Every structure is written in structure tokens, then in C-alpha cells.
Amino acid sequence: MYCAAVLLLASGCAAKSVGYLGNLRANVQAPQQTLLSLVAAAANAKSDPSQFEVASLASLAQSLSKSGGVEETIQTIKGLVDGMLGSITSEANAAQAGVQNTSLYTQCTAQKGAAMADISALSGGTTESAAHAQCVKELTALNATYQSCLSQEELLHVTKEARCEYFASIDRSANFQSWFCHEDDYPESSSYESYLQRNIDMLAEFRSKSNCTDATSSYNTKMAECQTKQTPVASKELQCATLESSATSALCAPYEGKLAVCKTYESCWSAAGSAAGNSLNTAQSIQDNLKTQWTALKRIQCLLDVLAKSGDQTAALTACIAKTHSTDSLTLTPAAAPTKEVCSAGTAPAACVA
């Protein structure tokens, strides 16, 4: 019987008085069960008398009081009602705690702060920039040595070309023996002075050839030397380019990281707002349901108090049904969203692409 009472009280069902009067006649063998049915109907009835005949409940209460057992039934129902009211209060408190919960917003702000702290610990390219600067300094020195070598090589090349071109213009090696040994190349009338001049010219040619050979050797040696100086320059240029790229990345990393953090913070805050809105909608639906249950149970309490009394309580029962019960304690008060912190990545470094 008590299980049936709980089901009736929780269901919130309502019926016309005709149905309950018919139920009364059909349940003469179970007067307590009939009392529960009428109390549940009265709890859910409107204050309009056409919704429920209070006289039926009053008459039944009077007849049951003569047969006994009503007091025990009423006390049992009142105990169940008190327990259900306590459960409603607990559910309302839980719903209130839910709409007051701003932890999602707090988590967004905390995560942003932690991420920004991690970014602040980055070098910001200081170490990488110093390494690049040192590399450029070394490259400048190597390049200066290489360029100096190239200048010397160019001078030696000009000297070689001049000396070798001069030698080519006076070179008689192709007919040297005829020129030096055969007198028919020269008229008999040639003087001794001419003979000596010929030998002087020959010695000059040998000297010019030696000058060309020496200049060529010096040029080739310097060219080989410059080639050995070119390789370190090329290697250092590659190293500096790599360090420059690393320095730029390291320089931009904090700024780009802050941009990402702020974007994530925006998304997190928006998601927290959506979650809070959904939670509030659900909680308000629960609130409306709890208020309906609360009103019905409070009316049942009033009815049970009246039914426990003897005599005609028609007026008192009517007053119970018409009475309004405050549900302000079940009204939810959602918390306002916390103030959103400003998140800024700052000014982009000149080397970074915004």
C-alpha cells in the first residue's frame, strides 16, 4: 500500500471527481487506498471546485475515521511526504550549485596563465641571435681574407698576361738556330756591333721568357691558394644562414605562441559560456519540475493535517486546495560569468610574419 502511495504522489496525475467517486465505490474493501487516491487527486487539483469535489474527500475521511486505521495511514504518508520534500530540497541545492559553478571559466584563465608563463621562459632568440652574430663576424673575417686573395690573384693574372704577351711578341724560338748560327741570315757587311746586339737581344728574350714563366707560376700558386680560402667562406655562409633561420624562429616563437594561446583562450571561454547556458537551461527545467512537485506535496501535507481531525472539515479541505505555497527557496540564481581577462600577443617583431 505504501509503495502505491509513493507512486501516486510522484506521478502528479489528476482526474475528474466523477472518476474518483467511481473509484471510491469500487474500493470499499480498501478505504486507506481510496484515501490515498483522493489525497493525490486533491493535491493536483486546481482551486476551481469543478476540478474536484472536496465534499467527497471530507465524507470519506469521516467514514474512515469511524472504521479506524486512518491515523496510522496519515502518519505514514506524512513521513513519506517529508522525505520527498527533503529530496526535492537536496536536488534544488545541487541544481543551484551547478548554476553557480564557474570553474570552466576559471580553468580557461588558469590554462592561459600557465601557457603564457611557459612562453615567457623562452629565450626569445637571444641565444640564437648571439650565435648568428658571432657567425657573421667570423664570416666577415674569412670573406675579407678571401677577397684580399682574389685581389692579389687578379694582379698576378694581369702581370702574367703582360709578361707572357711581351715574350710572345719577341719569341724567335721557332727559328732560333737559323737566326743564331747561320750567317746567311745576316749580310756580310754586318758589323761586330750588330753581332753583339743580336746576342743582347737573345739574352733579353730568355729573360722575358723567364719572367713569363715566373709570373705564370706565381699566378697559379695564388689561384690555388684562393680556392682553398673559398671553401671555408661557403661553409660559413651556410652555417650563418642556418643560424639566422633559427634565430628568426626563436625570435618569433614567443609572439606566435602568444597568438595561439589567445586563440585557445577565446575558444575555451566561448565553450565555457555555451556549457554554462546549457547547464542553466537544464537546471531551470529541473527547477520547474521540482516546484510542481513541491506545491503538490505541500498541499498533501495540508490535506493530511486536516484529515487527521474529526468532524466536518469541508471548509478546511477547500482552503488547503486553494492555498498557494511559496517555492522561492527552489528558485535558481545563476552566477554571473567572471570578467574575462584581456589576452594580447603584443607587437609582432619586425622579422616575424603576423
Q: What is the mean pLDDT of the chain?
A: 76
How many angstroms separate the CA atoms of 166 and 170, rounded?
7
Q: Where are the domains of the chain?
A: 2-102+277-330
- pLDDT at position 277: 93
- pLDDT at position 149: 93
CB 289 within 8 A of CB 98: no
CB 102 within 8 A of CB 338: yes
The H or E element containing residue 331 is none
pLDDT digits (tens, 9 = 90+) for 133-143: 899 999 999 99
pLDDT digits (tens, 9 = 90+) for 93-104: 999 999 999 999
How many angstroms separate the CA atoms of 146 and 148, rounded?
5
CB 114 within 8 A of CB 265: no
Query: What is the share, in percent, of the chain residues with pLDDT greater than 90?
Result: 35
| pLDDT of residue 295 exceeding 50 | yes
Exposed e or buried b per residue across 194-233, where buried means at least 16 C-beta atoms within 10 angstroms of its C-beta? eeeeeeeeeeebeebbebbeebbebbeebeeebeebeeeb
| pLDDT of residue 300 exceeding 70 | yes
The grid coordinates listed for 277 are 547556458
pLDDT digits (tens, 9 = 90+) for 18-41: 333 333 334 333 455 555 566 666
4/39: higher pLDDT: 39
How many angstroms separate the CA atoms of 187 and 176, rounded?
17
| pLDDT of residue 121 exceeding 60 | yes
pTM score? 0.58
- pLDDT at position 90: 94
Between 19-33, 196-210, 259-273, 279-293, the lowest mean confidence (pLDDT) is in 19-33
pLDDT band for position 194 (cuts 50, 70, 90)? low
| pLDDT of residue 345 exceeding 70 | yes
pLDDT band for position 48 (cuts 50, 70, 90)? very low
